[in-house]
Amino acid sequence: MDRLKRIDALKVRIDGHRPIDTPILKQIREYFRIGMTYSSNALEGNSLTEMETKIVIEDGITIGGKPVKDHLEALGHSEAYDLLFRLAKGRYISEANIKELHRLFYYRIDAKQAGKYRKQRVIITGTEFIPPVPERIPELMQSFIAGIPGAREEHHPVEFAAILHWELVTIHPFIDGNGRTARLLMNLALFQAGYPPAIIPPILRRDYLDTLNKTHKGDDMPFINFIVGVCYESVKEYLRLLEG
C-alpha cells in the first residue's frame, strides 16, 4: 500500500528527531490530547467544540448550556489518554488494559458499568449489525486477546491498529463507550509501534461509519484503508509540529 510507505518515510523523519526535547514533546502530547478527545467524543455526538474541550480539560471550567455528560466525557477521555503513554512503554496489550481504558473514560458517567462487560443486549441504530449476546462476551474477548500477538506480527502496525479497532467494536463488550474505547485501543497500538495517534475528524464521520459497517459484513479493507488515510494525515501533522 503506497500510503503505508509514505507513512513510514515520514516516521523515519520523526525518528530522526528522537530523543525529542521534553518541553516540545510535552506540547505535542497536549496538542494531540485535545485533538483526540474532541474528535473521538464528537464522533459520538458530544456537543463540545475543540476549544471548549480544551477549556474543560486544561482550565477545569464548565461551558454554559452544554450537557454535564459532555464535560464528563472530555475529562474521562483525557484521563484515559494519559494511560496510553504508560502502556505504550511495552508491546503487550491485555484484557485488563482494555477494561481500564474503558473504566477511566466512563467511571464519572456510570461507576457501576465502568470497565465491566455488559450484562444486557444492545441495539445499534443506523446499522443492521447486531452485537453478540452478553453471555458470549468473555469468551470472545479472550479469543480476541489471544489473537493479538499473531496479528501484530502479520500486519503493518497501522493495519494492525485498524484491525484491533473494528474487532473490539464488533464484540461491543461494554454498555456504552465502545467506539471511544476502540479508538483508544487503536492508538495504543500505534503508540507502542512509535507512530503518532490516528485522529478521525468529525467531518469524516459518515465515511468512518460506512467503512466500519462493511467490516461487519466481512469486508475489512475499506476500513483499513480509511484508517491508513487518517494516519497519514496525523503523521504529517506530527512532523509539522516537530519541524515547525
Q: Please state the CATH superfamily assignment of the domain spanning residues 2-243 in this structure.
A: Fido-like domain (1.10.3290.10)
Q: In this predicted model, what pLDDT tens digit does every residue of 67-78 receive, in sequence order? A: 999 999 999 999
**3-state secondary structure at position 112:** coil
pLDDT per residue as tens digits for the range 113-148: 999 999 999 998 888 899 999 999 999 999 999 999
SS3 79: helix
- Neighbouring CB atoms inside 10 A of 207's CB total 16
What residues contact 20, with CB distance under 8 A and at least 6 apart?
28, 242
How far is Cα of residue 93 from the mean position of the Cα atoms in its chain?
Answer: 14
How far is the C-alpha of 7 from the C-alpha of 224, rounded, in Å? Answer: 14
Structure confidence at residue 29 (pLDDT): 97
- Separation of alpha carbons 169 and 202, rounded Å: 18
Task: Report the distance separating Cα 223 and Cα 65, nearest Å.
Answer: 36
In which residue are the cell numbers 493479538 written?
148
Q: Which of 77, 165, 172, 216 is catalytic?
A: 172
**For position 1, what pLDDT does the model report?**
62
Indicate the pTM of the whole model.
Answer: 0.97
| Residue 244, pLDDT score | 79
Residues of the chain with pLDDT under 70: 1
CA gap 226, 136 in Å, rounded: 29
Q: Choose among 242, 189, 197: nearest CA to 16.
A: 242
Query: In angstroms, rounded to a whole number, what is the distance separating the alpha carbons of residues 203 and 237?
Result: 17
The span from the CA of 50 to the CA of 27, in Å, is: 16
Would you give the DSSP letter of residue 91? S
Q: What are phi and psi of 144, to 5 degrees?
A: -60, -50
* Element spanning 197, H or E: none
Q: Give the Cα-Cα-Cα angle 78, 83, 87 (nearest 5 degrees).
A: 150
d(C-alpha 165, C-alpha 87), whole Å:
17
* Per-residue pLDDT, 126: 82
What secondary structure letter does DSSP report for 100? H
Q: Clarify whether 172 is annotated catalytic.
A: yes
DSSP string for 198-236: P---GGGHHHHHHHHHHHTTT--HHHHHHHHHHHHHHHH
Cα-Cα-Cα-Cα dihedral sign, residues 94, 210, 205, 42: negative
Q: CB–CB of 208/176 below 8 Å? A: no
